[in-house]
Structure 1
Amino acid sequence: MHGAPSVTYPVGRSRGATRILVVLWALGALCAGASCYLFDSAGWRHVLLVASVLFAGVAAGFGLRQEGVGVLHFDGLCWSLTGGPASRGVHAARASVALDFQSLMLLCLSEPGRARRWIWIEHRAMPERWRDLRRAVYSRAPSAASAAEPWRATAPADAP
């Protein structure tokens, strides 16, 4: 079996991710409003509930504003991200899919010794490379043993 192709893909603000976030926030605000309406004891709990909904909306807005433009690259072994917020790049990372909506994916880039980065990737950013990106994201990382001795990768486990 061949490895996944190397791929370079643009990363930026995602309209699909923004829509999902707005819908989830609106549902939370609706539930908080219904809770305040249905339960009569207006006190500190209602104030706390409304404040938390407002805080979540403001935090989400700031998070969407800071989402920058960058380039995601897979070289066949590891992932890297250049550009983005405060030009803090990610090098030698592993990527895992958190959500997959076929034309919109949420990826988690984890680099040893650093915090995880969560990025949204959209099909519309570069449709001609989308399938290559999906193959690369879902491929297994090659191990050092299989790279040194390719015949071991296909031999049965009980073979001498």
Structure 2
Amino acid sequence: MHSAPSVNYPVGRSRGATRILVVLWALGACCAGASCYLFDSAGWRQLLLVLSVVFAGVAAGFGLRRDGAGVLHFDGLQWSLSSADAARGVRNARVLAALDFQSLMLLRLTEPGRARHWVWIEQRAMPERWRDVRRAVYSRPPSAEPAGDSWRATAPADAP
């Protein structure tokens, strides 16, 4: 069995991710507005609901603006993310695909002893390498055991 290819893939602001977040926020705002309209008593609960919708929109806006450019790299064993901000760089990480929309993926990079890092990648950033990066994301990490005769391990000890 062959391992996944090593690959470098650009990471940055994603228009697809922005659209998804805006649509989800708009749906939440519509639901909050309908709730305030249907329940006449204007009190602290409706104010809290409206403030939470506004806060979620502002937080998402700051998060999208802060999303910087970088390069996601897979060397055949480990993942790394280099960015202009050295503090946001990730080394020796494992990757898990959290969402996969075929041309847009949300990846979770987990580095031992550090917080998780979430990255959106999309096909339009580098279409010629998209299949390689998908193969690398879904490949199994190589095992430390030698690739010898694994079927012999199940044979009884008294076998000739």
Structure of greater Rg = 2
Give the aligned partner of residue 54 of structure 1.
54
- TM-score under structure 2 normalisation? 0.93
Give the aligned partner of residue 89 of structure 1.
89
Structure 2: runs of 5 or more not aligned: none
Q: Give the aligned CA root-mean-square deviation in angstroms.
A: 1.4
Q: Is the 8 A contact 1:98 1:107 kept in 2?
A: yes
- Comparing 87-96 and 71-80, the one that deviates more: 87-96
Q: Given the superposition, is the C-alpha separation of residues 157 and 48 from structure 1 closer, same or farther in structure 2, using an over 3 Å criterion? A: farther
Identity of aligned pairs, percent?
76
Displacement, 1:143?
1.2
Displacement, 1:155?
3.4
In 2, Cα distance between the equivalents of 1:52 and 1:96? 30
Give the aligned partner of residue 17 of structure 2.
17
Displacement, 1:41?
1.3
2:154 is aligned, of 147, 155, 158, to 158
Give the AA of the match of 1:70. G
In 2, Cα distance between the equivalents of 1:36 and 1:156? 68
Displacement, 1:86?
5.7
In 1, Cα distance between the equivalents of 2:84 and 2:64? 12
Displacement, 1:50?
0.2
Q: Given the superposition, is the C-alpha separation of residues 90 and 39 from structure 1 closer, same or farther in structure 2, using an over 3 Å criterion? A: same
Give the AA of the match of 1:16. G
